[in-house]
Amino acid sequence: MAGDSTVKDAQSIQSPCIGVCKMDAAKQYCRGCYRTLSEIAAWSSESKEGQLKILGLVAKRQKSNTIPDVTSDQESIGVTESAE
């Protein structure tokens, strides 16, 4: 049952989601879990190594957090394409 252990290993890493799902349009990641939309979408199918990489990016984003408080839903709705 090698397939079962692979799935079990991937599921053993807890998602960083805290249920505060508001996207920051400027920074292009969630204000709650600090993941991008693509990272959120890929989480459940990502390998354990991929999930650890995402958690590393999350930690870096948390350390450099300069997100201002949002007072209007319009500021936190939608994500525009990055110009990078």
Question: pLDDT by residue (tens digit) across 55-72?
Answer: 999 999 999 875 544 444
SS3 60: helix
Q: Which amino acid, one-letter code, is at 10?
A: A
Does 33 reside within a domain? yes
Beta strands in the chain (DSSP E): 23-24, 29-30
Global pTM value: 0.64
Question: pLDDT by residue (tens digit) across 4-40?
Answer: 444 445 457 999 999 999 999 988 999 999 999 999 9
What range does the domain containing 52 cover? 17-64
Rounded average pLDDT over 43-66: 92
Does 71 reside within a domain? no
Does 10 reside within a domain? no
Cα separation, 56 vs 16, whole angstroms:
11
Looking at the structure of the chain, the number of domains it has is 1
Distance between first and last Cα of the chain: 43
